[in-house]
């Protein structure tokens, strides 16, 4: 009488929280549970703009998985998923394979390039600890190199952030705070440095509250950020960004933040998907596959009030993990009645670097220091849900005001 096997792919917000909920519910007594992740650590994707700019050390955004998950109760495998053979109930890893009775896919997202030429080859992305460590090092290297040259190359000190969605704006916010420090450190005048935020839509943060967008743009402009709005990027070449209006910006640093698509494993495994995201059933299972749950950025759910997909967020991934864990527990107990997922969107708060942020929580608009404090409380709340007060004290943002 063997126990059913539950395999969880990805230890991001969705996967970690599902594993943690199953552990708390003692589900390992009724099932063999395995968590698979590329790295032996869990990182907080929502903090990555900070280590990318160098305003926070990357170790603050990550934690060893076995410090949070009891690996005597949930087996952990450090490996990369390459494909899911859903009809054979198998997962192919780089170094092996696993079979499952129930699968949870929480592999997160990848940068959306919209097929724009040169992006993959010449742009950086804010995606993982590895990718942001590279951005930080690269930016410093540009500063270090500038004074080395007899003839000054301005493209070394020109930074282009493609896309002024939340990721782009949060990164520009951090970088605009970091630049004066770098200028000081490398003896460079602030006016030498150019930081562009390039956005295709008629406004930064399209769809967000106009007053808050204006506040953010004014603040960032006061720190020297130059916005190019209504200006799609059409191509990236080595050392140059080509804009749709014909302008070219020479830059050695292009950070690509024009949105995300679901992990490529989804399409490779033959799931029907829109931009790599599977439109899941109300109980978070993949259509036609009752043994596969998909959560987080790989899942697509529709906001029925406006008949459009919810933007993929950590907020939703975490909430989905609760529903997913409850449904797995029900299945283990032999029940067929599944809980339906209903997102409870509390709001959106975006940091702008330093002690500045903007946000909308319910109908309330938040600016400046109070928004920044709320943002840190949100970050700490997640750590609390995952690992209680000890994790908050170890990794949390304690300097709230």
Could you confirm whether 170 is annotated as catalytic? yes
Query: Distance between CA atoms of 353 and 180, rounded to whole angstroms?
Result: 13
Nearer to ligand NAD, 142 or 164 (CB): 164
Catalytic one among 170, 174, 199, 281?
Answer: 170
- Candidates 105-113, 172-180, 204-212, 228-236; binding stretch for ligand FAD (CB under 6 A): 105-113
Which residues, 305 to 334, sit near ligand NAD by CB under 6 A? 311-313
Q: Is 165 in the site for ligand FAD (CB under 6 A)?
A: no
Q: How many CA atoms lie within 13 A of 228 on its CB side?
A: 23
Query: Distance between CA atoms of 225 and 159, rounded to whole angstroms?
Result: 10
Rounded to a whole number of angstroms, the minimum distance from the CB of residue 8 to ligand NAD is 22
Q: Is 168 in the site for ligand FAD (CB under 6 A)?
A: no
Per rule CB under 6 A, count of chain residues that contact ligand NAD: 27
Q: C-alpha 381: how far from its chain's center?
A: 17
Q: Is 37 in the site for ligand FAD (CB under 6 A)?
A: yes
Query: Distance between CA atoms of 194 and 139, rounded to whole angstroms?
Result: 12
Instruction: Supply 59's token pair.
Output: 């170790």
Which residues, 191 to 250, sit near ligand NAD by CB under 6 A? 198-201, 206, 232-233
Query: Distance between CA atoms of 151 and 109, rounded to whole angstroms?
Result: 41
Which residues, 249 to 308, sit near ligand FAD by CB under 6 A? 263, 265, 296-297
Among 328, 334, 345, which residue's Cα sits nearest to residue 283?
328
Q: Is 116 in the site for ligand NAD (CB under 6 A)?
A: yes
Secondary structure class of 298 (helix, strand, coil) = helix
Angle between helices 13-24 and 314-332 (to 10 degrees): 40
Query: Distance between CA atoms of 352 and 169, rounded to whole angstroms?
Result: 7
DSSP string, 337-375: PPPPP-----EEEEE-STT-EEEEETTEEEEHHHHHHHH
Q: Is 170 in the site for ligand NAD (CB under 6 A)?
A: yes
- Candidates 144-152, 264-272, 288-296, 343-351; binding stretch for ligand NAD (CB under 6 A): 343-351
Pick from ligand NAD, ligand FAD, none: which does 311 bind, CB < 5 to 8 A by kind? ligand NAD
- Candidates 24-32, 100-108, 190-198, 239-247; binding stretch for ligand FAD (CB under 6 A): 100-108
Per rule CB under 6 A, count of chain residues that contact ligand FAD: 32
- Candidates 90-98, 136-144, 174-182, 256-264; binding stretch for ligand NAD (CB under 6 A): 256-264
First to last CA, the chain: 56
Residues, the chain: 401
Residues that bind ligand NAD (CB under 6 A): 114, 116, 162-168, 170, 198-201, 206, 232-233, 257-260, 311-313, 348-350
Which residues contribute to the site for ligand FAD (CB under 6 A)? 10-15, 36-39, 45-46, 48-49, 80-81, 106-108, 126, 128, 167, 170, 263, 265, 296-297, 312-315, 317
């Amino acid at each position: 009488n063997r126990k059913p096997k539950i395999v969880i792919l990805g230890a991001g917000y969705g996967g970690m929280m599902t594993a943690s909920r199953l552990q708390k519910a003692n589900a390992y007594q009724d099932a063999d549970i395995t968590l698979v992740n590329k790295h032996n650590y869990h990182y907080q994707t929502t903090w990555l703009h900070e280590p990318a700019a160098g305003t926070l050390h990357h170790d603050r955004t990550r934690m060893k998985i076995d410090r949070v998950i009891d690996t005597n109760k949930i087996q952990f495998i450090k490996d990369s998923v390459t494909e899911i053979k859903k009809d054979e109930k198998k997962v192919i890893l780089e170094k092996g394979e696993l079979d499952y009775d129930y699968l949870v896919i929480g592999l997160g997202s990848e940068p959306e390039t919209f097929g724009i030429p040169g992006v993959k080859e010449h742009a950086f992305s804010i995606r993982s600890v590895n990718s942001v460590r590279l951005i930080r090092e690269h930016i410093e290297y540009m500063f270090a190199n500038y004074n080395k040259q007899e003839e000054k190359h301005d493209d070394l000190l020109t930074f282009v952030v493609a896309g002024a969605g939340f990721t782009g704006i949060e990164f520009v916010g951090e970088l605009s705070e970091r630049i004066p420090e770098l200028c000081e450190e490398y003896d460079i005048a602030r006016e030498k440095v150019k930081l562009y935020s390039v956005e295709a839509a008629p406004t930064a943060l399209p769809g967000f509250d106009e007053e808050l967008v204006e506040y953010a743009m004014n603040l960032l402009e006061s720190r020297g950020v130059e916005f190019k709005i209504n200006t799609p990027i059409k191509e990236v070449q080595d050392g140059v960004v080509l804009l749709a209006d014909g302008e070219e910006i020479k830059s050695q640093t292009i950070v690509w933040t024009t949105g995300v698509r679901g992990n490529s494993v989804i399409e490779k495994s033959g799931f029907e998907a829109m931009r790599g995201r599977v439109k899941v059933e109300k109980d978070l299972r993949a259509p036609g596959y009752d043994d596969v749950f998909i959560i987080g950025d790989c899942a697509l759910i529709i906001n029925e009030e406006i008949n459009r997909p919810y933007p993929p967020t950590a907020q939703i991934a975490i909430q989905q993990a609760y529903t997913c864990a409850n449904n797995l527990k029900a299945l283990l107990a032999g029940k067929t009645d599944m809980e339906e997922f209903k997102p409870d969107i509390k709001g959106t708060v975006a940091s702008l670097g330093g002690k500045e942020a903007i946000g909308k929580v319910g109908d309330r608009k938040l600016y400046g220091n109070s928004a920044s404090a709320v943002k840190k409380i949100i970050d700490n709340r997640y750590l609390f849900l995952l690992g209680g007060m000890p994790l908050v004290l170890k990794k949390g943002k304690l300097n709230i005001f």
